[in-house]
Amino acid sequence: ARREDDLIAARGVWERNLKKADWNQVRELCGDALEHKSKDLQIAGWLLESLLSLNAFAGVRDGLNLILGLCERFWDTLHPEISPDDIDSRIAPIFWMNEKLSLKLKLIPMTMPQTSTDAVSYAFKDWEDAEESEKLASKNKKLYEQAVSGGKITRAKFLGSVMFTPVSFYKAQSQTLNAAVSSLLTLERLLDIRCGKASPGLKQFKDILENIQRLSDTFLEEKLEKERQDTSVSPEVKEAYESGEDRMMRISSITIRNRADAYRILSAAADYLMIHEPHSPAPYLVKRAVSWGNMTLTDLLKELVADQKDLTQILQLLGLKGLS
């Protein structure tokens, strides 16, 4: 029931129909075995695997709590048994968890868009791929465009999915990840006590889970900040920003009450275009223009004109202050 293809390695041009495990069956079999037959650390690891596959980060939290409870209450009788001079068999399932399940953490969805029909959910692995795409863009624009045309995930696509994901999702995800990390740290400390110098540790698992936690918290904070800003925005502008495609297409009918409203509308329009026209340069140019909104003319010229001599001449011609 656990057998399936490598979901990470299978991504890309060779992607095909993958064999997937029956995680509901795995959960039932492992749960029954732990309750009625044997307190076994490897079976608990398989149960954790099924739970994270079925219930995302809540499954990670619950699976870690289960393993922590087994190690706290049944260490002396837990399977695999500890031989008099060798603890390796007992801690082998922990090594397995650290090596195999760490990568599966990267496949758990971190976005859950609800207000856009063509937005998709993305995971931490997608964020890593998007970051690699950004590095490629700075080195070779042509290769970057080819990669995007071939379906490569971009930061704009990922952040667009975040934008359409409700703040309630990130509030719940943050609480779940905090609880999961807390349980993991407690489990690590317990294993250090039980195993001494032979303690297996869960460094890779912990590092990835904490990286996911930090990224999720970043998205949550950005959404909370947007909520705080929206309290000072006119109702018409707020309605256009939040309501999706239909009202976004009617944005020209909105009364702009102040400068902040104007820039917020521009930013919202750019976000929309990044989702629906990711290959177009327009949304990126609009974003760039919005970023110039608070610049003085002198600062803007400094950013646009690379040659210092030309910049000095332009500033002098315009009667502006020179370079500091």
Q: Is the confidence at residue 14, as pLDDT, over 50?
A: no
Mean per-residue pLDDT of the chain: 81
Residue 212: which of 53, 56, 46 has the closest Cα?
Answer: 56
pTM to 2 decimals? 0.69
Q: Which range has the worst mean pLDDT, 6-10, 52-56, 312-316?
A: 6-10
Q: How far is CA 58 from CA 33, 130, 223, 241, in A?
A: 22, 25, 21, 31
Q: Which amino acid appears at position 236 of this protein?
A: E
Q: Is the confidence at residue 191, as pLDDT, over 80?
A: yes
Name the one residue in this structure whose structure tokens are 């863009």: 137
pLDDT confidence tier of residue 211, bands split at 50, 70 and 90: very high
Q: Is the confidence at residue 180, as pLDDT, over 90?
A: yes
* Residue 25 pLDDT: 94
Taking only the tens place, the pLDDT of each residue in 80-95 is: 998 877 889 999 999 9
pLDDT confidence tier of residue 251, bands split at 50, 70 and 90: very low
Q: Is the confidence at residue 66, as pLDDT, over 70?
A: yes
* Residue 295 pLDDT: 76
pLDDT confidence tier of residue 300, bands split at 50, 70 and 90: low
* Residue 13 pLDDT: 43
pLDDT confidence tier of residue 260, bands split at 50, 70 and 90: confident
pLDDT confidence tier of residue 285, bands split at 50, 70 and 90: confident
Following CA atoms 142, 147, 148, 149 in sequence, which dihedral angle do they give, to the nearest 10 degrees? 90
Residue 74 half-sphere exposure, CB side, CA atoms within 13 Å? 18
Q: Is the confidence at residue 219, as pLDDT, over 90?
A: yes
Q: Which two tokens stand for residue 209?
A: 């889970």
pLDDT confidence tier of residue 276, bands split at 50, 70 and 90: low
Q: Above pLDDT 90, what percent of the chain? A: 44
Q: Above pLDDT 70, what percent of the chain? A: 76
Q: Which range has the worst mean pLDDT, 48-57, 72-81, 112-121, 158-167?
A: 112-121
The more confident residue out of 167 and 236 is: 167
- Distinct helix (H) and strand (E) counts, the chain: 15, 0
Q: Tell me the average pLDDT across 243-259.
A: 52
